Chain A
Amino acid sequence: MKRMISLILCIVLAVIIPCTAFAEGEGNIDGGGGSMGGGTGSNFWHEGEDGVRITVVRISDNKPVSIPIDLTNSSEGNVVKHFDKKSKLHYKNGSAFTMMVLGYTYTKPSKALPKIISSGGNANIAAIKSYFTDRQILKSIANLIGATYDTLIDGKYKLLIEPVAYFTFNGNKMAMTATEAALYDQKLSGRLRSKMVSLTHQNLPLSMFLEKSDLGYPAYSGSTTKAQSDATIINSLGLGIVKFKEDSTPVPPVSSTRTYRVNTDVITSITLDTDSQINPNSPARVTFNIGSSSYTVTNIVIPEGDSQVVWVKWHTPNTAQKVNISISASKGSLSTRSITADVVSLDKNEPPDPQANDRNDSFSMPSLPSNTQITNNSWGVWSAVWVPKWVWHEDWHWIKDSSSKTGGHWKDSGQWVDEGSWKYTYTGYKAYLSAKMSLLPDDKVWSAKGKQMPSAYGVKISVTSDMTSPAPSSQITGAQTAVSYFPEFQYKTYWRHLAYSAGGESSSFKFKNNIYSTYNRPVHFTPLWFPDGKYTVYTYLQDAWTPAGMLSMNLNDYVTIKGSVYDNWHIGPKLTD
């Protein structure tokens, strides 16, 4: 049976895998977008072989909540390799980048999709917008993803739309979004870009990008007429968003100010782009001037048209202040040349001394806050090795010899010349932040039962976190800051900056000793008036740094309040002699 299946698969693959060698650039989009990047007979794309991938995203937490669907006008039954159905957000949230052979599913609309990939960037964007905001199109999309139309447009969801290209690479028909093309190119250390640059790094990613920041992706205002780097594509290209109500909170503009905490290891990074290769013969150098100190990163190499994230891991001052950082590079183009580091202290706003006569008759339980949560990210480092190609350059000379019958002989005084080239390799790294939080009655609460306790007693907290990454520790830090907020203050106004201890990239946190505690305990006192029920503490964990930015997590846990401290005490008559 196994042999039969293998035989059938072999036959199917033999039929599907194209063997014909086509002329270079055949079917290219060329006409303003440039060539196929030195494409060969087994690397080509036909105009019109495009489509979109659609994913429903929940606004409350920016999470994809549907299995993505692919729409295309063309018949793509001969796709051999693809990367399964994952959206840009799936990859951002840590989904693995995996290849699949066959098993590709797609839908052909009855009314043709507008042209998605144009040679002039997002030239057809008006038609694309008109199509994907249309009621009947959205009804049909809702039907395909298994949701009702009313749910889809009720304002709680957005549609993430990504351009898809179908093309032949190394003789295999492939389907991929712009983000997947960039991830694939990183995996191949630039070999996709070297063959298909105009499609995969220019016209595909530039066919859709954001005019306003959304879903955690920035608005793009860079060049629309040249090929883009893998990092730029992954961070900000190849996506469109359909929403069904205006965003309630305006997205803050991108600022060159970065906020750090005092006395913390942080990583400040910038991106160095280049149009022409920067190779080891003359590598680039980037210098960060932090105040009157300087930190220089040397030996930076980048292939043509790509970019490299460059960073400095530094320790912030002990006191709150603004630190100016200026950046310069010996070659290439920097994403920014000046950063203002706003170093702030969180050791303020500790809750006041709780009193026995504190009251809050109008208290209503607030909802838990949700700050930016990024639990993983990725980055990489380009390196280059010389691949020699020794070529013998012959140089024949006639050597006179009077004693010889022929009067002399020919001698080759040639030499070997290395006509090799630099081969670039991209070493990708990922980092994952994980954490747990535990809230329990303090050990001194003798009347506590598990997580249940009377009000007015103290609670203790334990937060443990781990930073997991194969990257050298010079490229990451563990989480260093945890701040807890409390329901009696509506998770605002007062907070506790937790005491921190670290071991490698693991860290743990607890309350600092409470100055109002008779026993000097590391606790937070619940208010006497707090109603029976859940008392939930919210903690924001941050300052886990990577060259791709800071990782952070929202955490919470609760104790159950039942009764108050008064229930534990009894005033009664005492027998006298």
Chain B
Amino acid sequence: MNRMSPKTKRYLTLAVTAFVSVGAAALIIMNRVGVEAGQAAESASSTQVSSEEEVSVPPIIVASQESKSGSTSAFVPSSGSSKSTELTKLEKPTSTPPKPSTASGTNFTDKTKKPSYSSKPTAKSKTASSNKPKAGDIKDGKMYDPDFGWVTIGGTNKQTTASDMYEDGVKVGIMD
């Protein structure tokens, strides 16, 4: 078999590429025409309403079917199933302070006199930061409350008198 010349090879490659491109373009155009034709057909029949046509209604998605983590998903009751959850974490520290050191003294050797501490031993506790404002501190027109923080000072209190507020004996309201 004779080998193809480079020129023939080039023409053949070009011809194949052109054929594939034209074919692809034709397929795309045919597809579009098909969609539009279908739409036109549906449009033309838009006055005909059929209750028999089959329509797929997307399923209703519920929160628990979403990709939620196991700890937050709802309990799904099913036969015999059971689940337990903790409302709070419970902790109780168990560390004990070191035994207080007792100063040695002569009274420790006097059998007739039971020793006692001059002051009660106390366990060291953590002290709060001294930088924190104290209840009642005033700064920039605000007063510090330990639970609400800096609270606006609203000016002086005001009393008014309702001189016409007295019972005339005619009952017009209902109070159950």
Contacts and interface: CB of A to CB of B under 8 A. Distances in A.
Interface of A: 5-6, 9-10, 12-13, 17, 71, 75-79, 81, 98-111, 128-141, 143-144, 153, 159, 170, 187-188, 210-212, 214, 240-246, 263-266, 280-281, 283, 290-301, 308, 310, 312-315, 323, 353, 381-386, 388, 390-392, 394, 396, 398, 404, 406-410, 412, 415-416, 418, 472-474, 477-478, 480, 497, 499-503, 507, 512-513, 515-520
Contact of B49 (A497, A499, A516): A516
26 contacts: A81-B145, A99-B148, A101-B152, A108-B160, A130-B167, A130-B171, A133-B175, A137-B165, A141-B165, A214-B176, A242-B175, A244-B172, A245-B174, A292-B80, A296-B82, A297-B87, A301-B88, A314-B77, A384-B90, A388-B93, A394-B116, A409-B109, A410-B108, A473-B72, A502-B62, A517-B55
Interface residues of B, number: 94
Contact of A388 (B89, B123, B154): B123
A13 B74 CA distance: 53
Contact of B153 (A102, A135, A136): A102
A51 to B, nearest CB: 12
Nearest to B111: A398
B100 to A, nearest CB: 6
A84 to B, nearest CB: 8
Given A140-B164, A293-B79, A315-B74, A502 B157 contact: no
Given A103-B156, A499-B57, 18 more contacts: A101-B154, A108-B160, A133-B171, A139-B164, A153-B173, A241-B175, A265-B63, A265-B74, A291-B77, A296-B84, A298-B87, A299-B87, A299-B88, A299-B90, A308-B87, A381-B88, A382-B88, A500-B60
Nearest to A516: B49
A416 B121 CA distance: 10
Interface of A is mostly: mixed
A188 B147 contact: yes
Given A99-B148, A103-B153, A130-B167, A242 B173 contact: yes
B110 to A, nearest CB: 7
Interface string B134-168: 01101011110101100111111111111111111
Interface string B103-118: 0000111110011110
B167 A134 contact: yes
B173 to A, nearest CB: 3
Contacts of B140: 6
A506 B150 CA distance: 35
Contacts of A386: 91-93
A385 B141 contact: no
Contacts of A501: 61
A290 B87 contact: no
A314 B111 contact: no
B55 A520 contact: yes
A107 B170 contact: no
Contacts of B156: 12, 102-103
A264 B167 contact: no
Contacts of B93: 386, 388
A138 B173 contact: yes
A110 B172 contact: no
B50 to A, nearest CB: 9
A283 B90 contact: yes
Contact of A110 (B83, B86, B166): B166
